[in-house]
């Protein structure tokens, strides 16, 4: 049975979010210091987890509290005991709503308080060295302080500006030749750094991507690039939360093998790696031990074989297994909502989409599949009108019965609901923005709450809604409905009886978006995508950070008759995995496979 420990140095979490070099999941690259005075050189002498006999982590019967809470408060996790030895390989797994591994990771990085403090400190192998210099967190806590972009379509700014900055120029400037002269010390340091970076880039199979524009890269490809940057900093301990989520089968296997090699390496500059996993994720073969965080606010630890037996009794998502003989369901399809006819998109000489044709009708349910880099992100951006080529190729793209060119993008935003990693990263984290505010922006698709009741303005004229009028009352009711169907009552498995604006819903609606966990933010952005009943909904990697209770609530809500989708709406889930799609063959789901830019409908 295990609890976790918190770092008494609160600057660590601050350092992670403020220092650009630690923001592994930022969608816009940081300007890394390329001088010898940067993190790599100031961390000398190198501290290694590979040459110690002391525990990497040691927590003895301690509880985790929010910063500022007294010892008499209810702990987030209680009576944790956890010792990580150098030869062990650990994964931390959440099981059910409220079982947040993030609380454990925040304790390890100074964002939660541990009491009592471990006698030898949380990281005995560090001695008296400050953890913030040697322990790094890499997860999906994107843009905690603010969105990466106010307008996240800035991802495509390179195309508009003719800039076309490449991955090499933006993320790996050290791999760009600098003709200017430098001191001998600087050159020696830079040569060592470049050699190490080149090895990381080759091992992570990033080298073929270096000279491609950022806009042409998928989320999975960008993630591999960020891993290379994180490892370049020589962390002694690297905590990686859900590093395999959202990756295709081949990339997942490649990255898992890479992490195993780095973790098991005896090289002094290789980190000790701790993984954060969802309970539904397959545990990598090289993991030897598991820490299971439960809804009861306790943590169990043990060897993988023992813990897998225990996890078998925990709540797990029920999915249709491949190979089962299921009679295909028939869906009554309605009007044509999206029609693509022979659409191609290129970045220079590289074809990303090749003669794609696809029709989406009312009441259809789709699963869009494809490897990382197959063109899914680009296709989604074309469909939502965010990609500049969606306007340029208007004759090949009809949205909601009209050519793309006849739709102002702002009007499309109100008629297409979506959740995506880009939107999650970009959404503003203003301190005064509440959950209600965020959901309310879904009626217009904007990022700024508007209107007296914070449920937006009229769609076509951008005027204030009539106070107490039909439209305002409908919008307010819809916010309460999505809070009931996808809010905390649904996460904890309690039945929703149609009673809106309960005290629990009200309390959650008043919370600030910036203070939510990543899973809670994902749920709120899903509510935002669904609140206005848009004709088309695109859900790209929608499960980011969600625990099992949240995933089950989404599945119930999106099921036929669950209240989340009407027969007049179409929904597309973008995922590498069948078990992440809420509908099965019996529900009439259809599947579109993108491979090397070519789209083909495949047998579900």
Residue-wise pLDDT for 179-201, tens only, equals 454 555 567 777 887 888 888 88
Task: Strand 350-361: give its sheet, edge to edge.
Answer: 350-361, 336-347, 397-399, 402-403
Q: Residue 48: its pLDDT value, please?
A: 85
SS3 string, 328-354, reads CCCCCCCCEEEEEEEEEEEECCEEEEE
Nearest to 92 by CA among 304, 362, 364: 304
Assess contact for 445 and 414: CB atoms under 8 A: yes
Whether 153 has a pLDDT exceeding 80, the answer reads no
Instruction: Between 33 and 452, name the one with better pLDDT.
Output: 452
Instruction: Between 239 and 389, name the one with better pLDDT.
Output: 239
Q: Residue 103: its pLDDT value, please?
A: 86
Q: Residue 385: its pLDDT value, please?
A: 81
Q: Tell the residue number behind the tokens 């993991």, with chain if given.
A: 287
Q: How far apart (Å, rounded) are the C-alpha atoms in residues 595 and 537?
A: 23
Q: Tell the residue number behind the tokens 């040697």, with chain if given.
A: 134
Tell me what the mean pLDDT of segment 258-263 comes to: 93
Instruction: Between 28 and 465, name the one with better pLDDT.
Output: 465
Q: What is the DSSP string of 438-454?
A: HHHGGGTT-SS--STTS
SS3 content of the chain, % helix, strand, coil (to 5): 35, 20, 45
Question: How many other C-beta atoms are found inside a 10 Å radius of the C-beta of residue 260?
Answer: 16
Q: Residue 42: its pLDDT value, please?
A: 42
37 CB contacts (<8 Å, ≥6 apart)? none
Q: How far apart (Å, rounded) are the C-alpha atoms in residues 63 and 76?
A: 7
Q: Residue 310: its pLDDT value, please?
A: 82
Domain(s) of CATH 3.40.50.300: residues in the chain? 57-134+235-315, 335-602
Q: How far apart (Å, rounded) are the C-alpha atoms in residues 209 and 221?
A: 8
Instruction: Between 443 and 578, name the one with better pLDDT.
Output: 443
Q: Residue 117: its pLDDT value, please?
A: 92
Residue-wise pLDDT for 334-363, tens only, equals 999 999 999 998 877 778 899 999 999 999
Q: How far apart (Å, rounded) are the C-alpha atoms in residues 516 and 144?
A: 9
Check whether the bond before 326 is cis (ω within 30° of 0): no
Whether 33 has a pLDDT exceeding 80, the answer reads no
Nearest to 73 by CA among 60, 63, 85, 59: 63
Task: Output the CA–CA distances (angstroms, integers) from residue 376 to 134, 352, 478, in the order listed.
Answer: 37, 9, 31
Residue 212: pLDDT band with limits 50, 70, 90? confident
Helices (H), 342-445: 376-383, 388-392, 409-413, 421-426, 435-440
Beta bridge partners of 434: 512
Pairing of strands 77-84, 289-293: unpaired
Q: What is the DSSP string of 92-154?
A: EEE-STT--HHHHHHHHTTSSEEESPPTT-S-GGGTTS-GGGTEEEESS-TTSSS-S-SSGGG
Question: Of the ranges 277-281, 413-417, 535-539, which one carries the lowest mean pLDDT score?
Answer: 277-281
Whether 211 has a pLDDT exceeding 80, the answer reads yes
pTM of the model: 0.74
Tell me what the mean pLDDT of segment 579-592 comes to: 91
Instruction: Write out the CATH class of domain 57-134+235-315.
Output: alpha beta
Percent of the chain residues topping a pLDDT of 90: 42
Q: How far apart (Å, rounded) are the C-alpha atoms in residues 243 and 257?
A: 12
Tell me what the mean pLDDT of segment 280-290 comes to: 91
CATH code assigned to 335-602: 3.40.50.300
Phi-psi map region of 468: left, alpha, beta (phi>0 left; psi -120 to 50 alpha):
left
């Amino acid at each position: 049975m295990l609890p976790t420990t918190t770092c008494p140095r609160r600057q660590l979490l601050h350092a992670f979010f403020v220092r650009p070099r630690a923001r592994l999941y930022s969608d816009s690259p940081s300007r890394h210091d390329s001088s010898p005075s940067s993190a790599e050189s100031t961390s000398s002498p190198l501290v290694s987890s590979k040459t110690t006999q002391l525990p990497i982590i040691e927590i003895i019967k301690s509880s985790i509290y929010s910063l500022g809470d007294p010892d008499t408060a209810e702990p987030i996790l209680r009576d944790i005991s956890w010792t990580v030895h150098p030869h062990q390989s650990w994964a931390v797994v959440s099981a059910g709503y409220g079982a947040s591994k993030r609380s454990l990771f925040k304790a390890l990085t100074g964002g939660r308080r541990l009491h009592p403090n471990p006698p030898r400190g949380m990281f005995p192998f560090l001695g008296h060295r400050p953890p913030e210099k040697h322990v790094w967190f890499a997860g999906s806590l994107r843009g905690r302080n603010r969105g990466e972009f106010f307008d996240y379509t800035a991802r495509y700014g390179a195309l508009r500006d003719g800039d076309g900055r490449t991955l090499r120029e933006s993320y790996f400037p050290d791999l760009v030749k600098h003709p200017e002269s430098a001191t001998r010390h600087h050159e020696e340091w830079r040569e060592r750094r470049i050699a190490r970076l080149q090895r990381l880039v080759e091992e992570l199979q990033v080298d073929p991507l270096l000279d491609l524009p950022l806009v042409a890269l998928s989320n999975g490809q960008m993630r591999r690039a960020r891993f290379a940057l994180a490892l370049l900093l020589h962390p002694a301990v690297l905590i990686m939360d859900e590093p395999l989520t959202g990756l295709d089968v081949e990339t997942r296997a490649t990255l898992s093998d890479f992490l195993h090699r780095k973790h098991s390496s005896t090289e002094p500059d290789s980190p000790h790696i701790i993984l954060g996993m969802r309970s539904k994720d397959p545990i990598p073969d090289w993991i030897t031990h598991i820490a299971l965080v439960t809804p009861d606010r306790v943590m169990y630890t043990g060897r993988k074989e023992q813990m897998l037996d225990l996890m078998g009794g925990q709540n797990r998502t029920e999915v249709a297994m491949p190979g089962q003989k299921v009679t295909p369901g028939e869906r009554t399809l309605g009007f044509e909502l999206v029609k693509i006819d022979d659409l191609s998109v290129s970045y220079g000489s590289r074809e990303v989409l090749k003669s794609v044709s696809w029709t989406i009708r009312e009441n259809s349910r789709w699963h869009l599949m494809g490897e990382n880099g197959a063109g899914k992100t680009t296709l989604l951006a074309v469909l939502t009108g965010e990609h500049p080529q969606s306007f340029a190729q208007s004759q090949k793209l009809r949205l909601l019965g009209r050519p793309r060119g006849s739709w102002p993008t702002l009007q499309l935003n109100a008629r297409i609901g979506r959740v995506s990693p880009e939107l999650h990263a970009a959404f503003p984290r203003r301190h005064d923005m509440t959950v209600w505010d965020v959901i309310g922006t879904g009626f217009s698709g904007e990022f700024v709450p508007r209107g007296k009741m914070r449920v937006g303005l009229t769609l076509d004229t951008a005027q204030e809604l009539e106070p107490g009028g039909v439209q305002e009352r409908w919008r307010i009711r819809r916010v309460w409905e999505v809070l009931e169907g996808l809010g905390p009552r649904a996460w904890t498995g309690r039945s929703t009886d149609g009673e809106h604006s309960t005290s629990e819903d009200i309390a959650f609606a008043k919370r600030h978006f910036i203070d939510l966990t990543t899973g809670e933010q994902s749920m709120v952005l899903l509510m935002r995508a669904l609140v206005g009943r848009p004709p088309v909904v695109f859900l790209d990697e929608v499960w980011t950070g969600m625990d099992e209770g949240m995933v089950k609530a989404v599945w119930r809500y999106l099921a036929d008759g669950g209240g989340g989708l009407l027969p007049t709406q179409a929904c597309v889930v973008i995922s590498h995995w069948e078990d992440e799609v809420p509908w099965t063959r019996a529900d009439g789901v259809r599947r579109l496979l993108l491979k090397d830019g070519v789209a083909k409908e495949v047998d579900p």
